[in-house]
Structure 1
Amino acid sequence: MQTLNQDIKDRSFKSAYLLFGDEAFLKKSYKNRLKEAVTGGDTMNYNYYEGKGINVPEILGMADTMPFFAEKRLILVEDSGFFKGGGEAESLAEYLPNVPDTTCLLFVETEVDKRSKLYKAVKKYGYAAEMVRQEPAQLARWAAGVLAREGKKITGRTMDLFLSKTGDDMENILSELDKLISYTLGRDVITDADVEAVCVTQVTNKIFDMITAISSRQTRKAMDLYEDLLTLKEPPMRILFLIARQFNQILQVKELMGKGMDKSTIASKLKLAPFVAGKIMLQAKSFTKEQIFSYVNLCVDAEEAVKTGKLADRLAVELLIANHY
């Protein structure tokens, strides 16, 4: 992302940019910054295309059109599916070496196949930026900066508590920060009590609590958490996926603990916040390696049972939670 920042600062733009990845906040932020930097708010030399079925010849024709009383024309293409490979995207890939100096193409996509011709063409003739979920230390610095601009202070411990509730989605973090700032109007220090009072625990954190309940044989509590997630309209198969991911993470931590690694080393190696690594280490101690493997296999079996129609998705997760090893 350093390249993007430098291009925006220097106002020296490449012929094509691709923003992709699962961090929606960063994609939206850089999309808006590039749009403002290239057009300066001018709508006359700005063209926007969205969704499947976009007319590629129309884009090419517009790209060859000189901007009206401006240096650049910006063409923004969003969620087109062009980067899955094949189709009319091939002609876009062939066109990229010939984009006029007066045109800038900006693609913002959710799904990207890095083997596609268009992706490779953007990398060669422009710049492709993958927006991934940020590491905990980066999120903590960013969140502290947002608070500082509002005259708020927060300790490292309280920040850890805050991020343990919000997860790593920057859009959600910003929303929860806004709530904290409003809640603490007239005070400059944010406390643990403030975080507990207004911040909503995200789905992934409820999954964490569910695994803790399973490890301590608190089946009723685990079931109650499952019901909470269903009430929040979380699909059972997504809950199953998150449970499987959590057990895989516990297995990784268990193996690193077996090699004598401490919390900070494990956190660094797995790109986890130290407080998260500490919590998973406690969970790992509650299971033998064989038990963790068994739960991982149960998740695989549950998914297979749902896909083959042997079990309803909701029941499959309930049976998984009720299993005791």
Structure 2
Amino acid sequence: MAAKKTTDYPVKQRQINEDIANGSFKPCYLIYGDEGYLRLQNRDKLSKALLGGGDKMNLQHYEGANLNPLEIIDMAETLPFFAERRVIIIENSGFFKVGCPELADYLKSPSDTTVFLFVESAVDKRKDMYKAVHKIGLDISCDTPDEQMLGKWIVSRLGAEKKRISPRAIAYFINRVGTDMSNMANEMEKLICYCIDKDEITEADIDAICANWLTSRIFEMTDAIVQKNQKKAMDIYYELIALKTAPEQILALISRQFNLLLITKEMSETGHPQNAIASALSLPPFIASKYIGWVKGYTRDDIKASLDMCLESDAAVKSGKLDHTISIEMIIIKASSRK
């Protein structure tokens, strides 16, 4: 059995909270990882505390590639204006992937009146910048939490608004809206407003108010596949993978889509009307009409071949012969290729 992924995020988060509470800050902080919501939350919390509620005269914000490290160092050496410290935010610079010897060297003995906040989506721990920050500051990895941690966050966030939610409803909520925390936060705000006169949030409330964003994106991808729009299908697929959508869920919906196409093709060829096809597919007539249009671009053998690809891919993954992510890429490319 594979070892469970561990994270030191809670420990590092407590250290940041202690620094803020004590008013004793490190020379630099590195906030990185694939969860943008947590990165920005920590960035804003730290910058607000470092500025001490004052104006932003002593805040400098640099963002993007091709930054001039010597300019940043000059600013770091400039005394703050009627304040205890200067705050320099450097965001999405790429310094932690390609390195920055000038800034890394400066951090060996930085100004004691300047605090750096580095915010990056990805870092290379072998590079000079990471080593420099790790030595004198604090680095926190803001990766997407596992479902258990997300559940605790949901309970805490809703609890602050005097709302309860069951473990079953939490799992239902996550499955419906996905694990992107910014999207989850927006959907929870909608739920809080919708349930303003209720103490407990239920699955029925989630159905009523939360957009099924994740499933709709998967269906949009499968629609692009059957329309043979390969670029759109691949773009959405990579987006879903980046959001940690289970490949099994994606494959199941691709298989379902081709199964619906096969039913539509067979019924169309035998003269069944649109309403009968809609009933067989358990879809509204206007959706069934889309399938009727799509199958004109496929032969029955084309659709069966795509279904066989899905079954063979699933078997190959389960036997360890093929990586799940790559196997679905192959299905999308083959199924959406134009003849």
Q: CA deviation at 1:203?
A: 2.9
Identity %: 36
Distance 1:288 1:82, change over 3 A: closer
Distance 1:300 1:153, change over 3 A: closer
Are residues 1:226 and 2:222 paired? yes
Matched, 1:159 2:170: yes
Change (3 A) 1:296 1:238: farther
CA spacing shift, 1:184–1:228, aligned 2, 3 Å:
farther
Q: More deviation in 170-179 or 193-202?
A: 193-202
Tell me how far apart the structure 1 counterparts of residues 325 and 173 of structure 2 sit (CA, whole Å). 30
Q: Which amino acid aligns with 2:232?
A: P
Match for residue 50 of structure 1? Answer: 63
1:5 aligned residue (17, 28, 36): 17
Dislocated runs of 4+, deviation >4 Å: 204-207, 228-231, 238-245, 247-250, 287-291, 301-304
Equivalent runs, 1:201-280 vs 2, <5 Å = 201-203=212-214, 207=218, 226-227=222-223, 235-240=232-237, 246-247=247-248
Report the AA paired with residue 194 of structure 2: Y
Change (3 A) 1:205 1:291: farther
The RMSD of aligned alpha carbons is 3.5
Q: Select the residue among 26, 31, 37 that pairs with 1:14.
A: 26
CA deviation profile, 1:246-281 (whole Å, cap 9, x unmatched): 25999xxxxxxxxxxxxxxxxxxxxxxxxxxxxxxx
* Equivalent in the alignment of 1:129: 140
Which amino acid is the alignment partner of residue 64 of structure 1? E
Bigger Rg over Cα: 2
Partner SS state of residue 197, structure 2: coil
2:38 paired with 1:26? yes
Aligned residues: 258
Q: Deviations over 1:211-249 (max 9, x none)?
A: xxxxxxxxxxxxx87117999x99322455558962599
Letter of the aligned partner of 2:96 in structure 1?
Answer: F
Tell whether 2:195 aligns with 1:184.
yes
In the alignment, the residues of structure 1 paired with residue 316 and residue 328 of structure 2 have an alpha-carbon distance, to the nearest angstrom, of 18
Counterpart Cα distance in 2 of 1:177 and 1:83: 34
| Change over 3 Å in CA distance of 1:186–1:100 after alignment to 2 | same
2:116 to 105, 111, 117: 105
Distance 1:14 1:196, change over 3 A: same
Shift of 1:202: 3.4
Give unmatched runs, 5+ long, in structure 2: 1-11, 252-312
Normalised TM-score (structure 1): 0.69
d(CA) in 1 for partners of 2:205, 2:193: 11
